[in-house]
Amino acid sequence: MSGHSYDAEKYWKANLRLIFGSLVIWALVSYGFGIVLRPMLSGIPIGGTDLGFWFAQQGSILTFIALIFHYAWRMNKIDEKFGVEEE
């Protein structure tokens, strides 16, 4: 912290909301689309295979990479909003 006063409770609520949202997306893509909903997605062709298999193999990896960048970007915005960004 750079000597700024900030509302720790609001900061952590925003932080936890971002974490929770990221975990929901992670679970939906990896467990939901890759395992549970795979039979329902099997009839949808994509890239020479079915959508369920694609999510299990490549879609989840691409989603995880996007989540990492989104999380870093949003955390920087939250840090700036509460005045706790790195200098």
Which of 3-7, 48-52, 55-59, 73-77 has the highest average model confidence (pLDDT)? 73-77
pLDDT of residue 20: 97
pLDDT (mean) for 71-77: 96
Question: In the chain, what is the straight-line distance between the N-terminal and C-terminal CA atoms, in Å?
Answer: 9
Which range (13-22, 47-56, 71-80) has the least confidence? 47-56
| Main-chain phi, psi angles of 79, to 5 degrees | -60, -45
| CB atoms near residue 69 (< 10 Å) | 9
Tell me if residue 46 falls in helix, strand or coil. strand
Residue pair 14/75 in contact by the 8 Å Cβ criterion: no
Structure-token match 């915005």, residue found: 77
What are the tens digits of pLDDT across the range 17-51?
A: 999 999 999 999 888 888 888 888 888 898 888 88
Q: Average pLDDT, whole number, for the chain?
A: 88
